[in-house]
Amino acid sequence: MLVISCIKQVPDTTQVKIDPVTNTLVREGIPFIVNPYDTHALEESLNLKERYGLRAVALSMGPPNAEATLRKACALGVDEAILLSDRCFGGADTLATSKVLSAAIERLGAEEEVGIVFCGKQTIDGDTAQVGPGIATRLRFTQLTLVDRIESLDLERKVIRVRRKLEGRHEVVEAPLPVMITVVRELNRPRYPTVPMRLVAQETEVKVWDNAVLKLDVETVGLKGSPTWVSKIFSPERDQGEIIGDGVNDPAGTADLLIDKLLSKDMLAI
Ligand SMILES: Cc1cc2nc3c(=O)[nH]c(=O)nc-3n(C[C@H](O)[C@H](O)[C@H](O)COP(=O)(O)OP(=O)(O)OC[C@H]3O[C@@H](n4cnc5c(N)ncnc54)[C@H](O)[C@@H]3O)c2cc1C
């Protein structure tokens, strides 16, 4: 049985530039990392591989340089790493992204049973938290979001029991496989690759599946297949902040100054 983790390559900076013509990210010359939540998705797939003997596959949709992101997954111990890359996938919104990822999962599922698909709760760039549920909807998998603990996995009954982290409380739910799970940071502590594993990973093949493999209608993927497009990305202008008093050496006096300031701006009712 397969356990799949979807990992996205994201900019390791807030200084992103947007191509004024396509409104998509300028990727040249900026450092990339594995999306932080996805490091927990990857880690959990490796834990289930070790505990239940599942086969762990890492999937990423991105430009050719996203191969580096998948090589990190190889260094951690996944059995297979597949980059979904084609110019026609470029500029995708979440609908088009989930289409490509689902097609790849379906293709893997034609060869070997897919039990669990892990996604991060959200990415640090698009930040929509939409791709995971999009994959589940397309594949008709049960979706379990915001999971911070895997309580149990019964491969015979094909049932999983998880705990979800909700606002101020938790919820424990049980569901039949296959499932799509989005994970939060509290689920686990990602491991670090050992030096020997890194060396092995440099020689490990990262497969590349383009649209000749997935055979998707080009009108339904990438920029063409995206009903939403980013019209403009900009950092909101902020008024210059003001330092009031000295909170370290004179907290009480600073508090008084702050109250006076708020009162003078009618922002405080006493
Ligand atoms: C600043 C910015 C704003 C954007 N706003 C929107 C928007 O409002 N609506 C919209 O539709 N698109 C938007 N996009 C485009 C969007 O980022 C892409 O569609 C992206 O591929 C998926 O959306 P996301 O980053 O929000 O992912 P999320 O839905 O937040 O990702 C959740 C999880 O899905 C998996 N995943 C996501 N993308 C990939 C991938 N490429 N490969 C493998 N796994 C993946 C990961 O496990 C990830 O943790 C935006 C992009 C940027 C840079």
Task: Report the residue among 7, 14, 34, 93 best suited for mutation to probe ligand 1: largest number of ligand atoms under 8 A from its CB.
Answer: 93
- State the total domains in the chain: 2
Does one domain contain both 99 and 153? yes
Task: Report the residue among 13, 123, 125 best suited for mutation to probe ligand 1: largest number of ligand atoms under 8 A from its CB.
Answer: 123
pTM of the predicted model as reported, rounded to 2 decimal places? 0.87
Asked whether residue 233 is assigned to any structural domain, the reply reads no
Does one domain contain both 204 and 247? no
Asked whether residue 232 is assigned to any structural domain, the reply reads no
Asked whether residue 231 is assigned to any structural domain, the reply reads no
Asked whether residue 9 is assigned to any structural domain, the reply reads yes
Give 126 Cα–ligand 1 centroid separation in angstroms.
Answer: 4
- Residue 61 pairs with which residues in a beta bridge? 84
Asked whether residue 227 is assigned to any structural domain, the reply reads no
**Can you tell me which atom of ligand 1 is nearest the CA of 131?**
29
Does one domain contain both 164 and 91? yes
Does one domain contain both 266 and 202? no
Residue of minimum CA distance from atom 2 in ligand 1: 126
pLDDT at position 125: 86
Cis peptide before 178 (omega within 30 of 0): yes
Decide: 108 and 2 in contact? Cβ < 8 Å: yes
Give 107 Cα–ligand 1 centroid separation in angstroms.
Answer: 22
Task: Report the residue among 30, 100, 230 best suited for mutation to probe ligand 1: largest number of ligand atoms under 8 A from its CB.
Answer: 230
Give the whole-angstrom CA distance, residue 18 versus residue 15: 10
Strands 32-34 and 9-11 turn out to be: antiparallel
Does one domain contain both 33 and 93? yes
pLDDT at position 22: 62
Residues with CB under 6 A from ligand 1: 6-8, 25, 35, 37-38, 41, 59-62, 92-94, 97, 101, 119-120, 122-123, 125-132, 228, 230, 233
pLDDT tens, position by position, for the chain (270 residues)? Answer: 999 999 999 988 665 666 767 666 666 778 899 999 999 999 999 999 999 999 999 999 999 999 999 999 999 999 999 999 999 999 899 999 999 999 999 999 999 999 999 999 999 988 999 999 999 999 999 999 999 999 999 999 999 999 999 999 999 999 999 999 999 999 999 999 988 998 888 888 999 999 999 999 999 999 999 998 777 777 777 777 888 888 889 999 999 889 888 888 888 776
- Residue 175 pairs with which residues in a beta bridge? 160
Decide: 28 and 62 in contact? Cβ < 8 Å: no
Does one domain contain both 247 and 193? no
Give the whole-angstrom CA distance, residue 146 versus residue 121: 6
Does one domain contain both 28 and 123? yes
Give 8 Cα–ligand 1 centroid separation in angstroms.
Answer: 8
Residue of minimum CA distance from atom 5 in ligand 1: 126
Asked whether residue 192 is assigned to any structural domain, the reply reads yes
Strand order through the sheet with 114-120: 169-176, 159-166, 142-154, 179-183, 114-120, 2-6, 55-61, 80-84, 207-209
Give 43 Cα–ligand 1 centroid separation in angstroms.
Answer: 20
Asked whether residue 230 is assigned to any structural domain, the reply reads no
* Cα first-last separation, the chain: 64
CATH number assigned to the domain comprising residue 16: 3.40.50.620
Give 254 Cα–ligand 1 centroid separation in angstroms.
Answer: 43
Does one domain contain both 243 and 163? no
Asked whether residue 229 is assigned to any structural domain, the reply reads no
Does one domain contain both 124 and 250? no
Give the whole-angstrom CA distance, residue 83 versus residue 60: 5
Q: Provide the residue range defining the domain that includes 253.
A: 239-270
Give the whole-angstrom CA distance, residue 118 versus residue 169: 22
